Amino acid sequence: MSLEPPDPRDGSTAGATSPTEQADAANSPTERTGAPAAPTAQAGAADSASPERQPRVVVADDLATMRRLLARLADRAGFEVVAEVGTTDALVEAVGRLAPDVALTDVEMPGPPLIEVLEALRERAPATAVLVHTGHADAASVKRLTAAGAREVIAKGSPVEHLVAVLRAAVDGGARTLPTDDQAEADLEG
């Protein structure tokens, strides 16, 4: 599966002209318009899943290009991207307010460290599966993130098909898989 470059006409930060505008756009939440009303966090993402609606995802990455690519990938895989954010604070706010089925997030973003944010995500939207997509992790980091509440940790170098499979498994309630040290290192090197 190939991903086309993002279209600058899609409302992304690509249209921002100054570095300040780009930074502001990159770090503020972008919600998709026309989306149906979000379930409340108390109702839980899993409770709101039904065969007639697309699974809902919040995409978080401080790099606007990566965020747009992940959003496009999720959209093409049949997910409704309900928000795109660039900070951990915005991630907590969006997940708490929108209660998506999945939150797909980078590890290193402005704001509090993700390892601390995972607890807040679990409290605000316990049914939301948090998937961490990172280029900088070792086996110890994978274990810490999954112990803190991440459903999966996916290496940025992983094949697109693997990322899509993990997204779908998260919605289907697939059991969290805790990789062994050797598996995690192999995944992260690949």
**Digit-coded pLDDT (tens) for 42-90:** 444 444 445 568 999 999 999 999 999 999 999 999 999 999 999 999 9
**Digit-coded pLDDT (tens) for 92-106:** 999 999 999 999 999
b/e 109-118 (16+ beta carbons within 10 angstroms → b):
bebeebbebb
pTM of the model: 0.70
In what order do the strands lie in the sheet containing 30-31? 30-31, 80-85, 56-60, 102-105, 129-134, 152-155
pLDDT of residue 29: 53
b/e 120-133 (16+ beta carbons within 10 angstroms → b):
bbbebbebbbbbbb
- How far apart CA 21 and CA 15 sit, in angstroms, is 9
Structural domains of the chain ordered from first start: 40-189 (3.40.50.2300)
pLDDT of residue 156: 87
- Asked whether residue 132 carries a pLDDT value surpassing 90, the answer given is yes
Is residue 79 within 8 Å of 112, Cβ to Cβ? no
For residue 2, which amino acid is it? S
Q: Quick check: helix, strand or coil at residue 3?
A: coil
- How far apart CA 123 and CA 53 sit, in angstroms, is 25
Is residue 68 within 8 Å of 12, Cβ to Cβ? yes
Question: For 139-158, what is the mean pLDDT?
Answer: 91
- Asked whether residue 115 carries a pLDDT value surpassing 70, the answer given is yes
Confidence of residue 172 (pLDDT cuts 50, 70, 90): confident
Confidence of residue 174 (pLDDT cuts 50, 70, 90): low
Q: Which DSSP string corresponds to 146-178?
A: HHHT-SEEEETTS-HHHHHHHHHHHHTTPPP--
Q: Kindly state the tokens that stand for 122.
A: 């679990």
DSSP H or E segment with residue 39? none
